[in-house]
Structure 1
């Protein structure tokens, strides 16, 4: 069952003498209405659309407010699909963070949803769905009902969900502490918004979100094709936007994994001389497909080989864990 709407708005601004009382009452109300440990479906209306997300609150989340990771599904997926595929909430249960799987729009029977990441993808882009506004409203709701830590809101996603994550980094940079897109990228369109730490994960052998850019293959059972931005040039643009030096530093780490048919490799690269709090890193894989590293094989004829060369969940949370949104990121 969906929780009730957020706290009511006061009609008039309170005087200074009452602010402490209203703050105390607000804290008490938030604690009383906080979601219990477990899995919940929350709903909210945005721009006339009924939207929803799956929320996992772990046992032993620690003292509130809690860190929250938003995990956006790929194009043609849906919230439960990303939950079952990535299984990030299982790590959240062990590490004490809340995992949220938002649902896109379009499709049929609650499936085949997409995100409006600008030029991509599908229904959401064609109809210019306000997914940025929806995400901002979702963050507000989460802060009201969990309670969530406003300084520790993170975003990740796969494919079209990764593209959506980049759009949020640009449009909601004052609300996100860090992002970690997987197998999907868009270049920044502005240079003057808030810097956001970035960990990007992508395979050079991705058969769908092409690492070197270009027109990808048609979506299954359609003639729809998407033009993909090149990873190196796009990530360099994000690093420059964050104030990093254009050239990357030497390789930080290398790993190998012997898959069923071939050897997979992963190289972690870090952009040099980024300002404090604006790190940009890349896990560049070879041998893997259009996949969430560490996840079980799925649709391998379409997506390519799964891989265990790195565990995306572990790498993403290690990148997020100690990062907080700083005053340099905020606009207020």
Structure 2
């Protein structure tokens, strides 16, 4: 059968698919050994991903799963190095997965390949595959990404079929495009759920790739505040809701932390505004971003680790199942 599988067809139809549990099964021989990561191909497709299984993986214990999506023109290997989701200092107990895009770009980016099965189909199929092969806690599946990959986490959350399977979302230096007219994406229409859609975004004030206040180029990027207020509204805050608090967490460089409380859900939308930082994944030890984009990120490293904050945020949320 053509790779537009029954699972992908379910996405097209807008229906969810039940996934058999991989709990109690041995790790497939093609998968990495616990404590290691490995490049794999999704069966029945030409799509690749990098998979990390923690050293203490127990095939009888439901385990959290963390997706980490690379930036535009980057790949899964760079994203593993950048986000550090395979680093037990940040993620001692969870499985990390780094999907690879079709052509270097994810849905929402105007350069992305939108043909079906598209990135949403791939994400859904990949999650189902993980749940079939490994002992995944289906209430603790999370999505994060850098730049275009961060924007794609929003695309996932906005999709009623795929987004409803993820407990929380995080974007670092998100590239926020208007998706209304993009084939296979369209306007943001998440599924209704009582847990809401926890959303965390980090952004540097001197980011020139995805400017914090947006831009008006041929393919405009939206201001970050529009994205945050959009998720606040979807979480029950109402249109144009102001943050509940906006605190200084570091003085030099200046880092502000804004949070929204919506419909009884405290801090469900959060934002870190990074002074003197550009299009870089904040890290106290530096990383490829600080080397490759040195002119944008002149400090060489930052005063906090975004990865640490992401895992703290994700740890507060799970789906009611």
Query: Structure 1, unaligned stretches of length 5 or more?
Result: 1-8, 10-22, 107-112, 217-224, 257-262, 328-332
1:298 equivalenced with 2:303 (yes/no): no
Instruction: Quote the residue 1:173 is aligned against.
Output: 163
Shift in alpha-carbon separation, 1:148–1:277, aligned structure 2, 3 A: farther
SS of alignment partner, residue 311 of structure 2: helix
Q: What do residues 282-330 of structure 1 show as CA deviations (whole Å, max 9, x unaligned)? A: 1111110101000422212464334422211100000001310125xxx
Of 75, 79, 82, the residue aligned with 1:78 is: 75
> With structure 1 as the length reference, what TM-score do the two structures score?
0.76
Instruction: Quote the residue 1:190 is aligned against.
Output: 188
Instruction: Quote the residue 1:130 is aligned against.
Output: 118
Paired residues of 1:265 and 1:309 also in contact (CA < 8 A):
no
Paired residues of 1:293 and 1:308 also in contact (CA < 8 A):
yes
Of 235, 246, 250, the residue aligned with 2:245 is: 250
Instruction: Quote the residue 2:308 is aligned against.
Output: 314
| Distance apart, 1:192 and its partner CA | 5.5
User: Which 4+ residue blocks in structure 1 deviate beyond 4 angstroms?
Assistant: 26-30
Instruction: Quote the residue 2:16 is aligned against.
Output: none
| Distance apart, 1:244 and its partner CA | 2.2
Instruction: Quote the residue 2:200 is aligned against.
Output: 199
1:154 equivalenced with 2:148 (yes/no): no
Paired residues of 1:207 and 1:304 also in contact (CA < 8 A):
no
Of 35, 38, 41, the residue aligned with 1:40 is: 38
Instruction: Quote the residue 2:182 is aligned against.
Output: none
CA distance in 1, matches of 2:309, 2:207: 19
1:214 equivalenced with 2:205 (yes/no): no
CA distance in 2, matches of 1:233, 1:29: 41
Paired residues of 1:206 and 1:289 also in contact (CA < 8 A):
yes
Instruction: Quote the residue 2:256 is aligned against.
Output: 267
What is the aligned residue count?
281
| Distance apart, 1:45 and its partner CA | 5.0
Shift in alpha-carbon separation, 1:193–1:185, aligned structure 2, 3 A: farther
| Distance apart, 1:204 and its partner CA | 1.8
CA distance in 2, matches of 1:278, 1:51: 36
CA distance in 2, matches of 1:121, 1:264: 34
Instruction: Quote the residue 2:131 is aligned against.
Output: 143
Larger Rg: 1
Paired residues of 1:247 and 1:272 also in contact (CA < 8 A):
no
CA distance in 2, matches of 1:131, 1:56: 20
For 1:101-116, what aligned pairs fall within 5 Å after superposition?
A: 101-106=98-103, 113-116=104-107
Query: Structure 2, unaligned stretches of length 5 or more?
Result: 1-6, 8-18, 180-186
CA RMSD of the aligned region, Å?
Answer: 2.9
> With structure 2 as the length reference, what TM-score do the two structures score?
0.78
Of 92, 95, 120, the residue aligned with 1:95 is: 92
| Distance apart, 1:228 and its partner CA | 0.8
Relative to structure 2, which stretch is displaced further, 268-277 or 140-149? 268-277
Paired residues of 1:69 and 1:154 also in contact (CA < 8 A):
yes
| Distance apart, 1:29 and its partner CA | 7.7
| Distance apart, 1:42 and its partner CA | 2.5
Instruction: Quote the residue 1:326 is aligned against.
Output: 320
1:59 equivalenced with 2:55 (yes/no): yes
Shift in alpha-carbon separation, 1:28–1:283, aligned structure 2, 3 A: closer
SS of alignment partner, residue 162 of structure 1: helix
